[in-house]
Amino acid sequence: MTMAVPFPEYLQIFIGIFALVSPPVIVPLFLGVVGGQSVADKKTAARIGALGFFVATSVFVFAGESILSLFGIELSAFQVAGGFLLLLIALDMMRSAPAGTDEAEASGSSIIALGIVPLTIPILAGPGVLSAVVLFSAEFEGVTHNLLMVVVMALVSVAVFLTLMLAVASDRLFTPNVTLIFNKVMGLLIAAIAFEFILDGIAAHYPLLASTP
């Protein structure tokens, strides 16, 4: 088929992708990851995260299946790797205080790297989101459909950016002690999510394990 998906379907795609990003989950994850950074750096991380999300999902619209096939990577393996990355971050958050602003400013590229990994991947553009993008993109063929998919990804990115900026604004209400406690609690939450990533990835790769009573 070469026709594009009927227009109302793109609204459903938008809602579906944004729901997979899961604002109630990414807000505490975002605040936990950028804990200790200045407000300006948090805003920078939000911009980079939203932009990175748009770039990653747009690339997967056109070449998601080809990229994974080229490197012989399965989404389940990507999910396990992302889970381990989040687990390392969670352990660091729970056993130590967040990095201070001076330390963050000492490296100009640190906040940029933070915005890309782990904020863009695997928190925002995780395996679930990327797999959904690949499936939605493959549902119909044609340049028109792909371009409309990119428009949807742009709208989701804007929604993600606004969500993260609201998180930054609310974070201003936190005192240093409250922020420290919050980060440790969020570290525990991130660890739980990391284990979910890992277990879901293993179950997807070895379906017999998931069906074992």
Q: What is the pLDDT of residues 106-115, one digit of tens each?
A: 444 588 898 9
- At 146 the pLDDT is 92
Residue 189 has pLDDT above 60, yes or no: yes
Say if 20 falls within a structural domain: no
> How many domains does one find in the chain?
1
| Single-letter residue type at 12 | Q
Say if 47 falls within a structural domain: yes
- At 101 the pLDDT is 41
Say if 23 falls within a structural domain: no
Say if 24 falls within a structural domain: no
Q: What is the pLDDT of residues 29-46, one digit of tens each?
A: 888 788 778 889 999 999
Residue 133 has pLDDT above 60, yes or no: yes
Say if 40 falls within a structural domain: yes
Residue 213 has pLDDT above 60, yes or no: no
Say if 25 falls within a structural domain: no
Say if 2 falls within a structural domain: no
Q: Could you tell me the residue range of the domain that residue 124 belongs to?
A: 7-15+30-210
Say if 56 falls within a structural domain: yes
- At 98 the pLDDT is 46
Q: What is the pLDDT of residues 160-184, one digit of tens each?
A: 999 999 989 886 665 566 666 766 7
- At 107 the pLDDT is 44
